[in-house]
Amino acid sequence: MKIVAAMSGGVDSSVAALKLVRAGHDVTGVFFRLVDPLGEGGSRCCSPRDREDAHRAAERLGIELDEECLSRRFFDEVFEASLSAYARGLTPNPCVICNRKIKFAELVHVADELGADRVATGHFARVERSGDGTAHLLRAADRSKDQSYFLHRIGQDVLSRTLFPVGGMSKEEVRELARAAGLAQAEKAESQELCFVPEGTSYADLVESWVPDLIRPGAIVDRDGRRRGEHGGIHRFTIGQRRGLGISSDAPLYVVELDSETATVVVGGPDDLLRTRIRAYDLTWVAGEPPSDVFTCTVQVRSRHRGTPAEVRVQGGTADIELAEPVRAPAPGQAAVLYNGDEVLGGGWIAGPHR
């Protein structure tokens, strides 16, 4: 089978390609350059070292490695869009957007140009196909490394052609296989930060550099509306934040709401962060449609959230989600991803709290 494999220069994608080669497939690697507008070597991905590592891995495996520059699309659709969302008081998830709009879309495009049957990445997730050809997205075998949350917006047209060769492995098994194969990436560290945020800075610094016109100072108020202080922009706050508020209090205070219309930061106690209902919008479904208009599932409101049982009521492109137990600090702009056991049903963006 002819397969195009995304190779980032990291150990996971290198081992994914290795497994495909050892299985006898005709594999072509592709390295995506995403962040050139931010300066050479300034980001946590697609750096000159990553490029070199990807080429070394391809050479070790005896496969061709193509390069694709997607920096303009990444800048418009992910980087600038994410910074604008931060400036509006949202907590966006750039990885979810990038996977759907950039990485997987381009991977399939390259595969079509090369006449390839499948595409593959080093994501920790699994795909199973039913008898009717429907592709089902599942959590990785290693729950601690599971990345299915970030893939929930990948549709059937792409998922049906996608392979995740390391999805059934643990991270240590991946590294052991890389060591045994003599891949230099075997001990390479992985970054948990936003890929486009340069070392030594933050997303808030980028907002101030790239979209300063969207920044508005405002008031910090408590739940009763009493003014507690002032701030220079809601982009420097996130729901659940405790440190760096710039105000004093006898009891711990947290950011519980961000009002973009008035540029107001609302603070409260830990109980004010708890939510039993959320609304999600711009829904997508892995199978193309929801299981039904009303169903029960597990909802994950951030990538490391363990998930909470819930009842979901779908109305068009939105869903009202009733949580079986309170969830702490679901942040508008983050994804609410719906699971049936290990299977991803779909998800949408969190719109805000509903008490």
Active site positions, annotated: 98, 195
At residue 14, φ and ψ (nearest 5 deg) are -65, -40
Per-residue three-class SS string for 300-352: ECCCCCCCEEEEEEEECCEEEEEEEEEEECCCECEEEEEEECCEEEEEEEEEE
Q: Break the chain down into helix, strand, coil percent, rounded to 5.
A: 30, 30, 35
Report yes or no: 34 and 185 within 8 Å, Cβ to Cβ.
Answer: no
- Cα-Cα-Cα-Cα dihedral sign, residues 69, 73, 76, 81: negative
Q: What is the DSSP string of 154-199?
A: --HHHHTTEE-TTTTS-HHHHHHHHHHTT-GGGG-----S-TTS-T
Report yes or no: 237 and 202 within 8 Å, Cβ to Cβ.
Answer: no
- Residue 226 tokens read as 């009493």
